[in-house]
Amino acid sequence: MTTAVRAACVIGWPVEHSRSPLIHNYWLKRYDIDGEYRRETVRKEDFAAFIATLAARGYVGANVTVPHKEAAFALSQPDERARAVGAVNTLWLEDNVLRSTNSDVEGFLDNLDACAPHWDRDAGKALVVGAGGAARAVIHGLMSRGVERIVVANRTTSRAEALQASFGERVQVAGWARVEAELADAALIVNTTTLGMHGQPALALDLARLPSHAIVADIVYVPVVTPLLAAAKAHGLVTADGLGMLLHQAVRGFALWFGKTPEVTGELRALIDADLASAK
Ligand code: ATR
């Protein structure tokens, strides 16, 4: 009797741009696991039917990307992280129950731990720029690690206020015009907006205003070194890039589906870095 190969996929619309197949297939090969990871192009209106038949399609789980992250949340049993973010990017079947998490939270934290060990030892104030779904994952992560004060600045102030309403008083709102003034006592700044992404304007801030021990993180990974990170490096500041976060967020899904906690190696980073560079 042959056993079916364990398989997972990334579900999205569009899904061609996703680097998840490259990451997971690298790990499958590296650990010599007889598994598969595929792309599944699924329209919004077909998503519920698709995940209802996940097991029948031979899948033990999946990643979910645009535009399905909120629908996946509603159609699965989310863990605490997914509930805090309100969106899901990782699904897995456990005793016929479709469970879910948002691995951006640990992707962000694990990458920060790797780039700036002990960053949370004396993390007084963090400045989060942006107030979308990625900001929710970052804020939840920072709060879970004991950051006392998180100032959120967003172009649309009402979205930052909505985050304060859901996360509580450790989150404060700064007007968009005050971003630069907020740098003076920030131990960490995180860009969660699309600013700095290929084709978008840069998040241009005078980083000389930051304390010299400050850490600068960006969730954008195209390009890997955003103008913000380039400026931070030029000022001698420690940085954490979006590629690192992308790789670290993939760890949990792989472990859940294929039973092995994979390592984020320099070789994997170079592989994805080269792919991102060649796609430009
Ligand atoms: P995600 O869920 O990936 O975080 P999103 O919800 O679309 O995506 O959020 C994108 C973020 O980038 C928002 O904070 C957005 O600001 P608004 O809430 O004001 O739209 C921010 N953003 C995008 N383009 C921007 C720009 N040109 N200037 C400033 N902020 C921008």
pLDDT digit string, tens, across residues 33-69: 999 999 999 999 999 999 999 999 999 999 999 999 9
256 CA distance to ligand 1 centroid (A)? Answer: 31
Predicted local distance difference test score (pLDDT) of residue 280: 64
Q: CA–CA separation, 51 vs 236, rounded Å?
A: 47
Measuring CA to CA, which residue among 52, 110, 139 is closest to residue 250? 110
Whole-number Å distance, alpha carbon 154 to ligand 1 midpoint, is 8
Partners of 91 in beta bridges: 62, 100
pLDDT level of residue 262 (50, 70, 90 thresholds): very high
* CA of 280 relative to ligand 1 center, distance in Å: 22
* 10 contacts 40 by C-beta, under 8 angstroms: yes
> Mean per-residue pLDDT for 12-40?
97
Residue 104 — pLDDT band, cuts 50, 70, 90? Answer: very high
pLDDT in tens, 142-167: 999 999 999 999 999 999 999 999 99
Ligand 1 atom nearest the C-alpha of 159 is 18
Grade residue 123 by pLDDT with cuts at 50, 70 and 90: confident
d(CA 240, CA 216): 6
Ligand 1 centroid to Cα of residue 226, in Å, is 16
Nearest CA to ligand 1 atom 29: 155
Confidence of residue 4 (pLDDT cuts 50, 70, 90): confident
Q: How confident is the model at residue 172 (pLDDT cuts 50, 70, 90)?
A: very high
Percent of all residues in the chain with a pLDDT value above 70, rounded to a whole number: 99
Residues sharing a CB contact under 8 Å with residue 61, sequence separation 6 or more, in sequence order: 8, 54, 90, 91, 92, 93, 253, 256, 257
Q: In what order do the strands lie in the sheet with 149-153?
A: 171-174, 149-153, 125-129, 188-191, 215-218, 238-240
Dihedral class, residue 4 (left if φ above 0, else alpha if ψ from -120 to 50, else beta)? beta
The whole model's pTM is what? 0.96
**Nearest CA, atom 7, ligand 1:** 132
Q: Supply 204's token pair.
A: 């241009």
Q: How confident is the model at residue 122 (pLDDT cuts 50, 70, 90)?
A: confident
Q: Mind telling me the catalytic residues?
A: 69
173 membership: H or E segment, kind and range: strand 171-174
**If pLDDT is split at 50, 70 and 90, which confidence band does 273 have?**
very high
Pocket test for ligand 1, best of 194, 226, 246 (most atoms within 8 A of CB): 194
Binding pocket residue ranges, ligand 1, CB within 6 Å? 130-135, 154-156, 159, 192-195, 201
pLDDT exceeds cutoff 60 at 1: no
